[in-house]
Amino acid sequence: MDSVMRIPILRLCLPLWVISVLGCATSIPAPEQNPDLNDAASIVRSAVPETLHIADEPFLPAPDINVAIFDVGPDAGETAAYMAVRKLESRLLPGLLREALVSSAQWGAVRVVPTVSPLAPVNIRATIVASDGRDLILDVRVSDITGAEWLALRLAYRETAPSDNLSDLSRIFHVVSNRMRDYWLSRTEVQRSSVISIADMLYARSLAPDVFSDYVDNTGPMLSLKRMPASNDPMLSRVKRIRNQEYLFCDAVDEQLGMLLERAGPTYYLWRQASIEQANWLDQYESMAASRSAGKGGGEFSRMQASYSAYRSYRIQEQALFELAEALDGESEPVVMTTEDAVITLEGTLDTQYATWRELLREIFLLEQGELQ
């Protein structure tokens, strides 16, 4: 029996060691201790998520936010099945972060996008450091279009008991929304408006660099606004129309990820539940093994056999998740987009679709610009 159980025990205990290294209390390390992070850097470790601060109304101006699909992190020698699960999580978890941000009523439009872009003033990036169903470690960074880093957090969350549904997992992102709110409220109204205006000009510059190159100053450590074009500038009106077309693509991506959550969410949720039961079984198994070594055999071993059903349940749910994740690995539904002159079907990965659509929009913009000239 011992030889049969040794492999899963060693594999699943590794993330627990990673959790223990983080320490037991929330801390804000000094910058010199974490040279890659700014003053807002911290490690947040908790089994009890923060209460989400919900605003009566957004604190204007309310910026739009892009949540990029999460980075799957290093494979660390994981099997193809585990990496497929990690890729699945990289698409499911951004939707839960978006859910927390929307629920806070603090922000403008919150969109899940394939990658960061000047489409929104604020971008959120995250990397999955470790995930085994019970323990989840994420590195989250929030920055705005000027280059200012709002916060850099390591979230280390342990699920202590099965939740009622997968949406409950969005609670781990309450701390992100709350700290983003604190940062945004610490800015003056002029600073907040400037961030949004700079985002507008950078997006315009991405379409027509020759026309919009002189509105933002990039000579300092962070971008600053030099001036704005007239509100009735016809070129700016075309930029806004192209931007709205890009928003439509992001809405289509949101719809895809919503369908993915409906399709894969229940299996992922059951796997997380079974992971907690499995972790409890592992704890009991190690305790029983220690008791047998101390000569306290019979009854303890019987109780260990009774708890073995938790392990079997975990293995069943794990296999179901592996099969589903591998089936969905790399799968992206074609996105059909409509312009004034054509209906375009985008295929491939979401990254490929997004890059193709942005390039098509830029070509449309340049063609229109040439016609007007």
Contact 18, 11 (CB under 8 A): no
Task: Give the tokens for residue 14.
Answer: 């590794």
77: left (phi over 0), alpha (psi -120 to 50) or beta: left
Angle, to 10 degrees, between the axis of helix 234-293 and the axis of helix 80-103? 120
**Greater pLDDT, 132 or 129:** 129
Q: Indicate the pLDDT class of residue 304, thresholds 50, 70 and 90.
A: low
Supply the pLDDT for residue 53. 94
State the DSSP string of 137-162: EEEEEEEETTS-EEEEEEEEEE--S-
Supply the pLDDT for residue 190. 92
Q: Indicate the pLDDT class of residue 30, thresholds 50, 70 and 90.
A: very low
- Distance from C-alpha of 141 to C-alpha of 123, rounded to nearest angstrom: 8
Contact 179, 153 (CB under 8 A): yes
Compute the average pLDDT of residues 167-190.
91
* Least confidently predicted of 15-29, 200-214, 229-243, 281-295: 15-29
pTM, two decimal places: 0.77
Mean pLDDT, the chain, integer: 75
pLDDT of 19 higher than 50: no
Which residues, in sequence order, are bridge partners of residue 155? 44, 138
Q: Indicate the pLDDT class of residue 173, thresholds 50, 70 and 90.
A: very high
pLDDT of 217 higher than 50: yes
**Greater pLDDT, 74 or 195:** 195
Listed residue (300, 278, 299) closest to 288, CA to CA: 300
pLDDT of 103 higher than 90: yes
Distance (Å) of CA 268 to CA 45, 280, 294, 306 = 22, 19, 39, 25
